[in-house]
Structure 1
């Protein structure tokens, strides 16, 4: 790496500049470069001297700055060192500019973002920000720009200069934000040829076409969070399990500390300057996806008059707002662009059509408040401080499991919950012409579903409903409107209660054991039905003899996964066949797939699925009696954002399984499987167990490693631990980091 001294001799290398306000501009590669002004170069170098980065023997950056802004500067620089491509990609996607890199296929993904994200609006919000937050946003941009200035060998895909206001485009931290719930195929169907009304048949999406696939087509995202009160722990201190289930390599592990009270450790989403799931020396927070209904769809009654569109609202006919959105995209010859005219009612943008009606969507879009909440919670010193951050009510897509050094444990089921008339079915589009369907402000935090120090002494959430979060001391559904909790119970929730209830003397080690308990609860109701179906077969039925060994193996199975288990392989392939075959039907009837499989299938269908599963295992691996560890593997070959897998190349066996089947330690494949083996892409990504008290004690593990560079020793140095479910000691205190130090430096060194 070139030294900072040599870089500064020439006033830093040339840095290309692209204004995000000019969204239709051609790719920045063709824009004239400019030198960083000497005054800016001097300022950034001075700030770098106020930052120290200590890399421990796992490559994890421990960033120390004089002020919060200095620490943010160093944190962003360190993130860029570890994986600049992922940092940049998150902002390319957040600002709706992916087609400028990937081409025309991403146009409607960009349109979806630009329906809500407007650079001019974000710039205005930045100007209105409080001074302390402006300093952090400036430091965010400066840290990334300083990295680019001192690493001329790095070629950005698009963003050659970061601006402070860009932090507002990606302010909340979830793997899939609210905007990404809008269906891209439906959006394209509406706008590809220009939105028209009455709807032409090719544009209208039928109900059937909107219900493709099943609830189990994709490995679930989500997370697990456990909190244990001091009364149930061996050391008399609160414990917290932090277990996000995201796509792998979506968040690295960091520590960021300043002399202004910032000292956060945990998982940070690439490109953001706040620890998203983690802890400081006093409190810890774990976000799990789910909560209440925070996004609503409105059926708009459209009237066309003289080429203009109006929509009915009460006795009024209001004009739809029409906006031309320019979508630049990369071509084989350079750049092109498409202009799409989109429409808005006062509810929000029109995003799809169904049954001859246009549908608008309303969701939270408060980037300034969201960014504020995301940062200030990391500096909370106690429950009161943390609760105050929650009162901003902009954590729209997550629940929160909490624990602190005072011995408190708590749970918030969601945070941003619009107040509505409960007589409407908010799971489905409501009539936008009826003023009674309006949001009526937000519920206060006190009004939402929450827990504080429940008498049972533990809290769990697995993206399930809150009504088992604390055993018999859980919130009661009858006390809340239905829209406050949208998810049902799930197999992981049933599993979590079992590993927590009636236990005491918890330690970090036993909490980790609970988080990796091997039971697969989803099979408990399903296998007895299979056995009954088999037992009732006539003796002369061909399936009786053909499936006898498989049934015997499954009868003898304890429903626990292990590397050596062949029943685990057979059971998982069996239920995968069932969900692939019957999932679309279940979804079309709005029944959960596992519920449909349990309630609606014939005995013959269950047995034939087992026969197909046996045949697939035999075809792929030579015998249906294939140990699970030979099938379920961890492999990280490249630093690409989209991983490729190869059965002929080295991989590691992994015992834990998909969250769909009740595995608390989740592990599943999300892309279309073109290999014979299953390679994990989502599930346990960052795991940490924390004990609070006078001194923090914690253990953690990342999927793979800290760095996105295959040449780095920290690209996959945690892989074997990860595959075994083992966690390393967290080095929270600087004295411990110094004892396990790999490198000490300042940004630019």
Structure 2
């Protein structure tokens, strides 16, 4: 039954609101409805695109205002205002690029349609705060339209976040960099990125194109919604909290799935600098050019709760800002920073209707980090390389800082779309990307590596790539359940590569205590088919052994610039260390869980106790077993887990989050989806963890795309403020 609520006038009196704001708010309210389905997912309808944006952002604020605000606190370099001195360097990094005065000027010069959407975005958040006085913002008490430009691209880690904070701090303090275990390679984070697959009609049982949307993000990083307007907007999918476009999703005609790419479009330049007459200069060719000097203030919350300020003098060359010092040089960084174009491209692609229109939007070349898997109702499929790729001299090694004093290292414009390693409608009938190189994206019809500069990809292959290629190759036809089964294929290529050398080392071990001690665990690994699962004991053994191997050899592999899994499988690793790492893994399993023969699902768990951005975990409270594993070892369905503070069990916090499969039928799309835990961040909400069991078992819910499909599945319908 549809429930309608009347607005409590006492919440907001029009006299308390600025008249222009009040007028806009009233117009948007009257033109927007929000329908929550039985999973709490909002279906927003607005007369105009701006109305739809107003409803979309208002609904996001209802579900998780904290994440909405936090994303824009971070994007503007204001985290230290709420989190204290620990966030100062993160804020400084953002402020090297994000300047409110510059963003305001860019907003003022932006197209009228984008201004209207940005104004609706700010109006929605301000109206939400006005109608929810109990909600207390951490920092941003009033949102302004230009702020939408500070976070315009959608990736979980934008280009700016590639700058190492420890090195930035060392530059400004003169102290040695405080490198973390992740920096050194002795700890491995869950791979940043996602999986995407698209299948042509010839590979589909229905004769329709199919698309897998499988973002790998920190859990609860994105909302989910259907957004519709009378101006042609009709999109469904995942949006990063606070952004007014569907980042990974589909409309009636096309679908788009972004994966993190290994393209090199962030470069570092080593500068020869000299101080002359009280100013800093850098050598470029035979000319000494002045470094632009800028004072940046970073407010921070002091221990006593007062707001203090730390001031920095920063420098910038024509390459970009100075971010660290190395071997007597100052290092500048160049990266894409096009807020208006990025926001335009991010929104406009949600209204495209085929590959040609999608590429027309992509011609803005403001997507720097994302490869795209594309499918359409016309039966088109494509792998699209990130569109922002600077032209450079291929003789240089762009993986490392190049000599910024050599004019030959300057960027020379940008590659056009037809110069990128993309592929459309391949004869193989499939395209995919799992954060690996593009040279296998379409099997035998993939772009040819030799035809492109080396900087088009530095990611190389990873353990997920061969598995995905194996599953998609051939002439098998897929429907949505089969595509879903493929997306959750349990084979762990990383262990198929690294366990055989371990077994061989044990086989060569002479008789003795170690051989006897390891006999039973080795027997379990020998008989393993390298498939993960809740009941799998070998998965537990392999993961704990792999964890120990990374501690031992990750730093060496990092120094040698080698991927860790191939390195662990290589002859560079002594057999004695492989066996010693297994001894350590067995001891850890016994100490933490009572024995080495512990099933993976007993260790690997999903738990959601509160709505905090950084969740906490408790072994004494209920949790859900999860059978899939880390993408580092080749698990297509990624579940990045580890022990929490004070826990023995491993709890997932990164990986599969929002996942969907889509069929682009002639009568409209059909889709199924699941969201990690649930959409709402309030533990009291029925939608806080109502999808946890579906997440565990891959029992995807049907996506309601039309009013007819929503029939019988409506929780409530209302207007913002009701």
Pick the TM interval, shorter chain.
over 0.9
Matches of 2:137 and 2:647 in 1, distance apart? 32
Partner of 1:596: 567
Superposition deviation, residue 10 in structure 1:
2.5
Asked if the contact 1:4–1:150 (Cα under 8 Å) also holds between the matched residues in 2, the reply is no
Residue number among 84, 104, 122 corresponding to 2:65 in the alignment: 84
| TM-score w.r.t. length of structure 1 | 0.94
Superposition deviation, residue 332 in structure 1:
2.9
Superposition deviation, residue 209 in structure 1:
9.1
Residue number among 706, 714, 717 corresponding to 1:733 in the alignment: 706
Partner of 2:638: 666
Matches of 1:152 and 1:532 in 2, distance apart? 66
Superposition deviation, residue 40 in structure 1:
2.2
Partner of 2:289: 318
Counterpart of 1:723 in 2: which secondary structure?
Answer: helix
Residue number among 308, 328, 337 corresponding to 1:365 in the alignment: 337
Matches of 1:321 and 1:552 in 2, distance apart? 64
Matches of 1:226 and 1:564 in 2, distance apart? 28
Superposition deviation, residue 204 in structure 1:
6.0
Superposition deviation, residue 219 in structure 1:
1.3
| TM-score w.r.t. length of structure 2 | 0.97
Asked if the contact 1:234–1:505 (Cα under 8 Å) also holds between the matched residues in 2, the reply is yes
Listed as ranges, the matches of 1:232-271 within 5 Å are 232-271=203-242
Asked if the contact 2:644–2:651 (Cα under 8 Å) also holds between the matched residues in 1, the reply is no
Counterpart of 1:625 in 2: which secondary structure?
Answer: coil
The Cα offsets for residues 349-390 of structure 1, whole Å up to 9 and x where unpaired, read as 000011111100000010000000000000001111101011
Superposition deviation, residue 4 in structure 1:
2.9
Counterpart of 2:52 in 1: which secondary structure?
Answer: helix
Counterpart of 1:241 in 2: which secondary structure?
Answer: strand
Matches of 1:416 and 1:43 in 2, distance apart? 37
Q: State whether structure 2 residue 424 is matched by structure 1 residue 443.
A: no
Partner of 2:717: 744
Superposition deviation, residue 11 in structure 1:
2.2
Matches of 1:68 and 1:91 in 2, distance apart? 22
Asked if the contact 1:396–1:416 (Cα under 8 Å) also holds between the matched residues in 2, the reply is yes
Residue number among 107, 115, 121 corresponding to 1:126 in the alignment: 107
Cα 1:242/1:606, change in 2 over 3 Å: same
Q: State whether structure 2 residue 288 is matched by structure 1 residue 285.
A: no
Superposition deviation, residue 498 in structure 1:
1.3
Superposition deviation, residue 217 in structure 1:
1.8
Listed as ranges, the matches of 1:198-597 within 5 Å are 202-203=174-175, 212-214=183-185, 217-333=188-304, 334-539=306-511, 541-597=512-568
Counterpart of 1:681 in 2: which secondary structure?
Answer: strand
Matches of 1:684 and 1:116 in 2, distance apart? 31
Partner of 1:702: 675
Counterpart of 1:141 in 2: which secondary structure?
Answer: helix
Of stretches 265-274 and 42-51 in structure 1, the one that deviates more from structure 2 is 42-51
Asked if the contact 1:296–1:363 (Cα under 8 Å) also holds between the matched residues in 2, the reply is yes
Listed as ranges, the matches of 1:23-102 within 5 Å are 35-102=16-83
Cα 1:431/1:476, change in 2 over 3 Å: same
Cα 1:422/1:295, change in 2 over 3 Å: same
Counterpart of 2:320 in 1: which secondary structure?
Answer: coil
Superposition deviation, residue 671 in structure 1:
8.0
Matches of 2:6 and 2:713 in 1, distance apart? 25
Q: Which runs of 5+ in 2 are unaligned?
A: none
Superposition deviation, residue 184 in structure 1:
0.3
The Cα offsets for residues 110-159 of structure 1, whole Å up to 9 and x where unpaired, read as 00000000000000011101111111000110111111111111111111
Partner of 2:116: 135
Q: How many residues align?
A: 716
Cα 1:397/1:187, change in 2 over 3 Å: same
Asked if the contact 2:181–2:187 (Cα under 8 Å) also holds between the matched residues in 1, the reply is no
Cα 1:704/1:96, change in 2 over 3 Å: same
Matches of 2:452 and 2:177 in 1, distance apart? 34
Partner of 2:648: 676
Computed over aligned residues only, the root mean square deviation of the Cα atoms, in angstroms, reads: 1.6
Residue number among 594, 608, 619 corresponding to 1:636 in the alignment: 608
Partner of 1:25: none
Residue number among 7, 10, 27 corresponding to 2:10 in the alignment: 7
Partner of 2:136: 155
Asked if the contact 2:643–2:651 (Cα under 8 Å) also holds between the matched residues in 1, the reply is no
Asked if the contact 2:227–2:235 (Cα under 8 Å) also holds between the matched residues in 1, the reply is yes
Asked if the contact 2:223–2:679 (Cα under 8 Å) also holds between the matched residues in 1, the reply is yes
Asked if the contact 1:230–1:407 (Cα under 8 Å) also holds between the matched residues in 2, the reply is yes
Superposition deviation, residue 7 in structure 1:
3.5
Counterpart of 1:690 in 2: which secondary structure?
Answer: strand
Asked if the contact 1:216–1:593 (Cα under 8 Å) also holds between the matched residues in 2, the reply is no
Matches of 2:151 and 2:695 in 1, distance apart? 29
Asked if the contact 2:186–2:553 (Cα under 8 Å) also holds between the matched residues in 1, the reply is no
Superposition deviation, residue 8 in structure 1:
6.4
Counterpart of 1:696 in 2: which secondary structure?
Answer: strand
Q: Which runs of 5+ in 1 are unaligned?
A: 13-34, 193-201
Of stretches 327-336 and 639-648 in structure 1, the one that deviates more from structure 2 is 327-336
The Cα offsets for residues 254-303 of structure 1, whole Å up to 9 and x where unpaired, read as 11000100001000000000000000000000000014111000000001
Counterpart of 1:547 in 2: which secondary structure?
Answer: helix
Counterpart of 2:476 in 1: which secondary structure?
Answer: coil
Counterpart of 1:493 in 2: which secondary structure?
Answer: helix
Cα 1:5/1:432, change in 2 over 3 Å: same
Superposition deviation, residue 409 in structure 1:
0.2
Matches of 2:623 and 2:257 in 1, distance apart? 30
Q: State whether structure 2 residue 658 is matched by structure 1 residue 686.
A: yes
Counterpart of 1:524 in 2: which secondary structure?
Answer: helix
Asked if the contact 1:50–1:65 (Cα under 8 Å) also holds between the matched residues in 2, the reply is yes
Partner of 1:196: none
Q: State whether structure 2 residue 693 is matched by structure 1 residue 720.
A: yes
The Cα offsets for residues 27-68 of structure 1, whole Å up to 9 and x where unpaired, read as xxxxxxxx4213422331221110010000000000000000
Asked if the contact 2:371–2:384 (Cα under 8 Å) also holds between the matched residues in 1, the reply is yes
